[in-house]
Amino acid sequence: MVTLTPFHNKTKQLNLDQQLHFIEVLGQLLQQHYSINQALIIIQWQKQYQPLAQSLSLALTNGIRFDVALNQTGFHHQIVSFVHFALIHGNLTEAFVESTALIKQQLRIQQSFKKTMRYPLILIMSFLLMLFFTQHYVYPNFQQLYQTNQVESSLLTLSTQAVDIVFNLLVISAYLLIAGTIFILLSKRLLKTAKQLAMLSRIPIVFPLLRYYFSFMLATHIGALLESKLSIKECFVALTEKQSTNYFAFITNRLEQALSNGSSLDFAVLNETFLTEDLYQIFKKQEPHPQLKRDLTAYTRLLLDQLTQAVDRKLTMIQPIVFVTIAVSIVLVYLSILLPMLDMIQIV
């Protein structure tokens, strides 16, 4: 089998933004009725993409499928997946548009998440630092001052205990977060996909987003494959032919097995935890393929909007909750320092 190793070793792998730009340029050239080979020759005029375009052209000349060539040159798995199915239904241009739109949306969500979490994380770290100094320097000095004046303050004792509890809870939460991250990374290697999905279904915040995402992917690919005049059964066979270890491949394989066992598509979708009930209603109508394709296309657009809105709602809730929690905690710590001072002044 011919591989792209010689070119791949010489060429620096493109980052995700560059990959998206490369695919967008390629899609624009295909819209102008260039063939893939012709488009790749034109893209070679751009120096930054010249080695990659040459590598892909060589792969096509040697009979390597375009999706395999993209995979060997390090392209994002979602781009490779969309191109793989596009080679079946014959609409590469649409695959390029859909894959770049989906990945751009994911990047926007990731950037929004990073932007939303940046200031809360800084505040949490500053708050932990403040609690550390309060616990190890401020309160011991107060206690020494009280002992020097032979005065006892129950308020100071209570404040010290409260700060200890808050500080320890935050430290324990940080350790649990680190341990949880390590567990998730290890579970991907040690646990079977079915058990991983079962765990994800029990996480309240994650589960609804995954349902939207997997429903979007299924509706997008089935709708595109219907254009190639395949039956529903053949569409799922085509989906499962692309062997992969990701969650979507596992879900489509379960649906294909259900269909092979004589189940109807709507009933199989209804029994799949990670697919929405709306998708079940679409397949339940058992409409002709052109109408089903139109319904699925309309539904993917609605799903993408719902997915974006759901993520935005959850992200907008994070900052206020963190800010209010930290503000209340700072006020309590401030009072825990101020009130013992007032108490000591009254006693003295």
Ranges of each domain in the chain: 16-103, 117-347
How many angstroms from the chain centroid is the CA of residue 132? 34
Q: Which of 76, 151, 73, 205 shows the shortest CA–CA distance to 341?
A: 151
Give the pTM: 0.63
| Alpha-carbon separation of residue 253 from 99, 219, 229, 244, 260 (angstroms) | 22, 15, 21, 10, 10
Strands (E), the chain: none
Please state, in angstroms and rounded to a whole number, the distance separating the CA atoms of residues 39 and 33: 9
Q: Distance between terminal CA atoms of the chain?
A: 89
Which pair of structure tokens corresponds to residue 151? 């005065």
One-letter amino acid of 179: A
User: Residue 115 to residues 140, 206, 210, 312: CA-CA distances in angstroms?
Assistant: 38, 19, 22, 12
CB 155 within 8 A of CB 339: yes
pLDDT score at 263 = 84
Secondary structure percentages of the chain, helix, strand, coil, to 5: 80, 0, 20
Give the pLDDT confidence score for residue 242 in this predicted structure.
59
In order along its 348 residues, the chain shows pLDDT tens digits of 444 444 444 445 788 888 888 888 888 888 888 888 888 889 888 888 888 888 888 988 888 888 888 888 888 877 887 787 777 766 777 777 777 777 777 777 777 777 777 777 787 788 778 778 877 787 777 777 777 766 666 666 777 777 777 778 877 877 887 887 787 777 667 777 788 888 888 888 788 888 888 888 888 888 777 766 677 777 777 777 655 557 888 888 888 888 888 888 888 888 888 898 888 888 887 667 778 888 888 888 888 787 778 777 777 777 788 788 778 777 777 776 677 677 667 665
